[in-house]
Amino acid sequence: MLAPEVEVSEGVRTPKINIPELVLAMDSTDALTEIRMLQGVGRAAGLVKLARKRAVVPTGGINRRSFNWTYAMQIAHEHFDVRRFMLDFKIFDEADTGSIVADLALLRPDVISVHSLAGGAAMRGAVENKNISRIAAHTIDSRTTNAECRTVHGLNRTSRVLRLAELAVSNGADIVIAPANDMGTLRCRYPDVTLMATGAVLPGDDPRGHEGAMAPSDILEAGADYFVMGRAFAAVTHPEDVLEALVDNLS
């Protein structure tokens, strides 16, 4: 990858680069932080992930009918040239997953996430109601330790990931979301499934509790199609500096 070309707009350096594998996680609780992230990184990301905890657009709780996602996506598109979105709800409502996904699909996001723990019927309901969106299935949080998995589920972490991934894939999910250090195992098991890794950390950065955190370059080499990053961009005044460091890591 070439070094980024930079343009100057209103005092902010905006790298003219494209990293289609980057999923920019907009998980901040501060609106100004999210605006800086969109301005500095939004155009470069393959997907902008909007979480249920919104900062730019208050939601008034988790009632899906109070979400103003149309407005959030419109602002990101018109002001920051963001064109591809992931609505990351980790939907966990077994009985209502299909109708929730149907509501969200009306917004025409690229990806809608559900949780594999909702079960096979819920996953099938999501797939049946996704319209043009892709369904991404969460397996386990990358902060979950091996000991916690053994205590709660009687399985090690990787075995738990594989079990939930199989549930997702066998019921039609388009994308499997899993910790970074499980990407190699998943790619061997599912050569044709799209994989999204959590726990991407630049070399030298604090892993922030992610078990088995890996550098983005290593994640892609292990077989992932996407990697999620957000906190590294949110933690600085100039997210475009982190974007340039990411380009260096991927070069």
Residue-wise pLDDT for 131-156, tens only, equals 999 999 999 988 888 888 889 888 99
Cβ atoms < 10 Å from Cβ of 141: 16
Q: Is it the case that residue 3 has pLDDT exceeding 60?
A: no
d(CA 234, CA 100): 29
Question: pLDDT for 176-234, tens place per residue?
Answer: 999 999 999 999 999 999 999 999 999 988 877 788 889 999 999 999 999 999 999 99
Give the confidence band of 5 by pLDDT, cuts at 50, 70, 90: very low
Domain with 120 in it: 5-250
Give the per-residue pLDDT at 65: 41
Give the confidence band of 82 by pLDDT, cuts at 50, 70, 90: confident
CA angle 88, 89, 93 (to 5 degrees): 150
Give the per-residue pLDDT at 106: 87
Token match 């957000």: residue? 230
- CATH number for the domain spanning 210: value is 3.20.20.70
When divided into structural domains, the chain yields a total of 1
Q: Is it the case that residue 28 has pLDDT exceeding 50?
A: yes
| CA torsion, ordered 245, 81, 62, 98, to nearest 10 deg | -100
The residue type found at 91 is I
Q: Mean pLDDT, the chain, as a whole number?
A: 84
Which residue from 7, 23, 3, 67 is spatially nearest to 180, judged by alpha carbons?
Answer: 23
Q: Is it the case that residue 66 has pLDDT exceeding 50?
A: no
